[in-house]
Amino acid sequence: MTLTELKYIVTLAQERHFRRAAERCFVSQPTLSVAIKKLEDELDVTIFERNRSDVRVTMAGERIVSQARKVLEEAELVKQIALEGKGQINLPLRVGAIFTVGPYLFPHLIRNIKPIAPEMPLILEENYTGVLRQKLRNGELDAIIISLPFEEPDVEIQDLYDEPFEVLIPAEHPLAKQEKVTRKQLEKENILMLGEGHCFRDQVLNACPGILKHSDETSLPQGTSLETLRHMVASGLGITILPSSSSDKHIYDSDTLVERPFAGKTPYRRVSLVWRKRFSRPKAIAALVQAITSCALQGAASV
């Protein structure tokens, strides 16, 4: 049984005439005759009662033809769905981002992708780089937003923007009175840090190698998110270092917390989009990149 044969019987049932039905199927009359016979033999049912003057659908044939029509309709839907799928940007896209990017990027992303790909809902997730990598690899995520360095086989990486770090200080702290903060000065302070696993932690330690020892000695609590750190700074536990995007807007005013840039070479992180090389929706990725780079993140420099 083939879809062609089903089309043949549906058409013949309509036309009740082999030659006309054959024409409508764009085949010759013998082709139709043989195909019909073949299907009847296979199903072992007479679908059409032939008569020199007339072709009639049998009682059993009626039911078969009507079911065949259903099959053809469903098959037509396959093509329809495929056509929709071709657009690539009208299906959900599963996007992950590291904890220190997601909360600040996603709101802008959602807003900016609407006009570009209104039919492409984003399924979002925040997680550690390692978890995101795993989920990208096994297909649970289509694209992830991480911070370099990032090594992984069979993926494409598109750099999105560079984001400077800044120091978050309680307003009454002596350092708050300075325009800029030097790395040397930080080494004498209690620097609140994110826990292990957050790549931002490593990046901060990389940018200010001197602070680790000090923080270890005082065994300060480790933040579970940038916002947690912010709260702890506000409560006077110490100071911290944040990526600039995280100071976009928050609940503390400048009487409580102030941000100060680094003196000298500004440390920064590079945020990138990663997807599987064989991922089948380049248009969806392009839309995502466009939406993110047009975010004009506060203090971020597009690359």
Partner DNA sequence: TGCTTGCAATGGCCTTATGCTATCGTGTAA
Partner DNA sequence: TTACACGATAGCATAAGGCCATTGCAAGCA
Residues that bind DNA (CB under 7 A): 2, 4, 17-19, 26-31, 33-38, 50, 52-53, 55, 153-154
8 versus 99: smaller Cβ distance to DNA: 8
Q: Map the footprint of a second copy across residues 32-61, applying CB under 8 A.
A: 43-46, 49-51, 54, 56, 58-61
Interaction of residue 88 with a second copy, rule CB under 8 A: yes
Closest approach of Cβ 273 to DNA, in Å? 21
Residue 115 CA: distances (Å) to CA of 54, 104, 110, 111, 209: 59, 20, 10, 8, 43
Closest approach of Cβ 100 to a second copy, in Å? 28
Are 10 and 71 a contacting pair, CB within 8 Å?
no
Q: Which does 302 bind (CB under 5 to 8 A by kind): a second copy, DNA, none?
A: none
Closest approach of Cβ 288 to a second copy, in Å? 14
Q: Which does 49 bind (CB under 5 to 8 A by kind): a second copy, DNA, none?
A: a second copy
Are 13 and 65 a contacting pair, CB within 8 Å?
yes
Residue 246 CA: distances (Å) to CA of 109, 151, 168, 249, 288: 15, 25, 11, 7, 21
Are 143 and 205 a contacting pair, CB within 8 Å?
no
Q: Map the footprint of a second copy across residues 137-176, applying CB under 8 A.
A: 138-139, 142, 154
Q: Which does 169 bind (CB under 5 to 8 A by kind): DNA, a second copy, none?
A: none
Q: Which does 217 bind (CB under 5 to 8 A by kind): DNA, a second copy, none?
A: none
- Helix ranges, the chain (H): 3-15, 18-24, 29-43, 59-86, 102-116, 129-137, 183-187, 199-207, 211-218, 226-234, 282-293
Interaction of residue 218 with a second copy, rule CB under 8 A: no
What tokens does 126 get? Answer: 């925040």
What tokens does 170 get? Answer: 């309680």
Options 26, 78, 219, 253; binder of a second copy; rule CB under 8 A: 78
Q: Which does 153 bind (CB under 5 to 8 A by kind): a second copy, DNA, none?
A: DNA
Q: What is the bridge-based pairing of β-strands 239-243 and 155-170? A: antiparallel
3-state secondary structure 2-28: CHHHHHHHHHHHHHCCHHHHHHHCCCC
Residues that bind a second copy (CB under 8 A): 1-3, 6, 43-46, 49-51, 54, 56, 58-61, 63-64, 67-68, 70-71, 74-75, 77-79, 81-82, 84-86, 88, 91-93, 138-139, 142, 154, 276, 278-281
